[in-house]
Amino acid sequence: MGPQAVKAVHSDLEEGMSYRIAYRVGDSIRSHVIRSVAIFDGIREERLWDGSRASCFLFRLPQGRGLALLEDQIIEVRLIEQNEQGQWILHDTRRRRRGVHPVHVPL
């Protein structure tokens, strides 16, 4: 999910809901992807170092630490919830692949 897709999806994010997020950190030479479970806290306009303004997605990690991400840092955001056993379950909003079933041919 690139920045354009994130812009389209951000209106679907609900404050207080849990999401699995994948985001890029580091510079263009040494960047890497981090995946985390986080609670969405909203979107806020922030001033960047160069004085321009940008929308930041605000999340709260399970340890309570805040996380502010720019749109171009976000790779994927998927809704997630815990089941009765405490396991995290992803809500798959993407189209599921059909399973391939073998065809039985009589010999």
Looking from the CA of 99 toward its CB, the CA atoms found within 13 Å total 3
Three-class DSSP category at 54: strand
Residue 107 lies in a domain: no
Residue 98 lies in a domain: no
Residue 58 lies in a domain: yes
Q: How many helices (H) and strands (E) does the chain have?
A: 1, 6
Q: Spell out the per-residue pLDDT of the chain, length 107, in tens.
A: 444 444 445 558 899 999 999 999 888 788 889 999 999 999 998 888 888 888 899 999 988 899 999 888 899 999 998 888 888 888 765 544 444 444 444 44
Q: What is the CATH number of the domain that holds 52?
A: 2.30.30.520
Reported pTM: 0.69
Residue 95 lies in a domain: no
Residue 76 lies in a domain: yes
How many independent structural domains does the chain possess? 1
pLDDT at 89: 81
Residue 54 lies in a domain: yes
pLDDT at 106: 47
Taking the C-alpha atoms of residue 50 and residue 12, their distance in angstroms, rounded to an integer, is: 30
The residue range of the domain holding 77 is 3-90
